[in-house]
Chain A
Amino acid sequence: MSGHSNDNVSSKELWGGGRSPYGISYGKMYMWFFLVSDALTFGGLLTAYGFSRASSESPWPIGEQVFRALPGLDGQYPLIYVALMTFILIVSSVTMVLAVEAGHRNDKRGVIRWMLATIVGGMFFLGSQAWEWSHFIHGGGGSFLLAKEVTITDENGTPYTLPVGEPIFMDHHFGELAEGYANGDSNVVLDNDHGHITLVQYGEHTHEAELHSLTINKYIIGEREVSGDDASKLWEARSQSFKFGANMHENEYAMQQSYANFFFFITGFHGFHVFSGVVINIIIFLMALQGVFEKRGHYEMVEKVGLYWHFIDLVWVFVFTFFYLI
């Protein structure tokens, strides 16, 4: 890959000017040095994530419980969507290597074909990330904190006391109406018939959500469903502030805000890299289409943007491990 003509030159001569000691062109070298510095940015972000997590006073949500939805499907699919995103990015990295390989054979059609495939892969990844953000922002059903201590019975029948401030999670349907109720929407009415709690939304269509169960410890150490009288007891002990999904100030996933902020910043910063990578790939694709590189006699530009594109994949590999898996 690199030039070999320097191999028989003494090191004094090699570094004496007029030659390329690294055996690569300035463009490729500076792409490498840019990536070295950019990787330190991501390294710093992930290190900060690790330190925040290790020093967090309140429990930290875990990946396979927060990220377990698939578009258009009900049910639980822990980490499957993130794995799919990882796979899309790996495949688009592969099509990029194939574009570089085609460039080395001066195969214009091959470069165009594989660059196009890479762009499509990048767009699929961006779309997936948009959906994941949307899902993270809208949340699962919302949560409220306990305003007072509540004693319920666990599955073995022994009393179990939950402290003030414990987060309690609602299911999707109940949470939707509870949001209107919490915001003072006069169309949503609470019907408490001897502990049998129903939220009814009157309007053009009537929506009704019964409180079947509430969940404790979701996102943290495994779900525990609480139903019947115990669920009503928890609901009665709710504080006034509800949390739905996540934004920059509050989130339903954890009592601290760091987790949500790191999610937004790390995946957002990575997503911005993917976005600019797709734009750069489109430019190079159009240049290849116009025959610019054919005229120039080499396809090194494809190699340079290829380095950037693989770097995006490389960063995602680390984000996947440290944000989602561990």
Chain B
Amino acid sequence: MERDDLIVNDSYSLNATHSEEAGVKIRKNIIFVTVLLTAITAVEVAMGIIFKRAETYTWEAIKWTFVALTLVKAGYIVMSFMHLGEEKSVLKKSILLPYVMFIIYLFYILATEGFGHLFNHTSFH
């Protein structure tokens, strides 16, 4: 049986090699993403400690900030660490589109079902 992990073929990612000089540049980018992810996490923890939760619009805004920062972190992990940014666009789409749909569904369900607590301040006794 032919094993395609042994074939040297330009149409595959198997011989995706780079030189020493390119490696230096790539490592610089890796360090940038590392610092960014760490900084975002530190900001999130600080916000979680500083702001007290309450049934207010401020806390609501902070929650959405957490969600936005999480999506930024996820984007950097997927696009940079998992190299999806460098893959062909047809592969990108087939992986990301299901999640775009999933997130739109979650927003839909939130918008139709989830905002009741903002207008009802009795959930804390």
Whether A23 contacts B77 by the Cβ 8 Å rule is no
Interface size classification for chain A: 35 or more
A90 touches B19 (CB 8 A): no
Tell me the residues in window 95-125 of chain B with beta carbons closer than 8 Å to chain A beta carbons: 95, 98-99, 102, 106, 113-114, 117, 123-125
Number of interface residues of B (CB under 8 A): 62
Determine the chain B residues whose CB is within 8 A of the CB of A23 once the complex forms.
11-13, 87-88, 91
Binds B, one of A14-22, A135-143, A191-199, A205-213: A14-22
Q: Is B16 touching A2 in the complex (CB atoms < 8 A)?
A: yes
Q: Smallest CB–CB gap between B110 and chain A, Å?
A: 9
B61 at the binding interface (Cβ < 8 Å):
no
What's the Cα separation between A97 and B16 when bound, in Å? 14
Residue-wise, chain A 302-321 has the 8 Å CB interface mask toward B (1 for contact) of 01001100110110011011
Residues of A within 8 Å of B12, CB to CB, are 3, 20, 23-25
**Contact of B70 with A321 in the complex, beta carbons under 8 Å:** yes
Min CB distance B43 to A, Å, is 11
Chain A residue nearest in CB terms to B27: A101
Chain B residues, CB < 8 A from A290? none
A256-B48 Cα distance, complex, nearest whole Å: 24
Bound form: Cα–Cα A220–B117 in Å = 16
Interface residue SS majority, chain B = helix
Contact call B88/A87, Cβ cutoff below 8 A: no
**Across-interface contacts of B70 in A (CB, < 8 A):** 317-318, 320-321
Interface of A: prevailing SS: helix
Let me know if A298 and B34 touch, CB within 8 A. no
Which residues of chain A from 99 to 116 have a CB within 8 Å of any chain B CB?
100-101, 104-106
User: Chain B residue with minimal CB distance to A5?
Assistant: B10
Verify if A63 is at the interface (C-beta below 8 Å from B): yes
Interface contact A40-B102, CB-CB below 8 Å: yes
A32 to B48, CA, bound (A): 33
Residue of B14, B38, B44, B123 with highest tally of chain A CB at under 10 A: B14
> Other than the known A3-B10, A104-B17, what 11 A-B pairs have Cβ atoms closer than 8 Å?
A1-B83, A1-B86, A2-B13, A3-B15, A54-B113, A64-B48, A101-B26, A222-B52, A311-B82, A318-B74, A325-B48
**Residues of chain B having any CB pair with chain A under 8 Å:** 4-6, 8-20, 23, 26-27, 30, 33-34, 37-38, 41-42, 44-45, 48-49, 52-53, 63, 66-67, 69-70, 73-74, 77-78, 80-83, 86-88, 90-91, 94-95, 98-99, 102, 106, 113-114, 117, 123-125
A selection of 22 A-B contacts at a CB cut-off of 8 Å is A2-B86, A6-B11, A23-B13, A25-B5, A26-B4, A28-B13, A36-B99, A40-B98, A59-B123, A64-B48, A80-B45, A86-B41, A87-B41, A94-B34, A101-B27, A104-B17, A298-B15, A300-B13, A303-B13, A313-B81, A314-B77, A321-B44
